[in-house]
Amino acid sequence: GAVVSQHPSRVICKSGTSVKIECRSLDFQATTMFWYRQFPKQSLMLMATSNEGSKATYEQGVEKDKFLINHASLTLSTLTVTSAHPEDSSFYICSAPPSQEGNIQYFGAGTRLSVL
């Protein structure tokens, strides 16, 4: 299957700082990528759809000014958590669907964000 790389895998930061998470498709181009948030023992919650060369589409209740998404190339999307607070602590996961494989999404390994 296709490979999606997500970095960093874990980050600890102070309240008020910004954190950038990168998601790269290593062996395919992705015009669309997805960003999810996952709480302990729960399923994935879609935060936003990242679109190459255009604005991201945010799900209801997700603050676009809080979670900045940039998809500047066909292999890279970034999620920046701005002015992070303890309630932003969570597991963030990105995914990308290779265009030739329909709805199948390949996932990054996730980023554990802890805001102190």
Q: Give me the residues that bind other proteins (CB under 8 A), please.
A: 1, 4, 6, 32, 34, 41-44, 46, 49, 91, 93, 95, 97, 102-110, 112
- Kindly tell me which of 82 and 110 has the beta carbon lying closer to other proteins: 110
User: Minimal CA–CA distance to 4: which of 94, 68, 99, 67?
Assistant: 94
CB of 100 to other proteins, least distance (A): 12
Phi and psi based region of residue 60 (left: phi greater than 0; alpha: psi -120 to 50; beta: remaining): beta
115 and 86 in contact (C-beta within 8 Å)? Answer: yes
- Kindly tell me which of 75 and 105 has the beta carbon lying closer to other proteins: 105
- Kindly tell me which of 77 and 105 has the beta carbon lying closer to other proteins: 105
CB of 83 to other proteins, least distance (A): 26
What would the two tokens of residue 66 be? 């809080």
* Cβ neighbours around 11 below 10 Å, total: 18
Round to whole Å and give the CA distance between 56 and 59.
10
CB of 103 to other proteins, least distance (A): 3
CB of 99 to other proteins, least distance (A): 9
- Kindly tell me which of 33 and 81 has the beta carbon lying closer to other proteins: 33
52 and 43 in contact (C-beta within 8 Å)? Answer: no
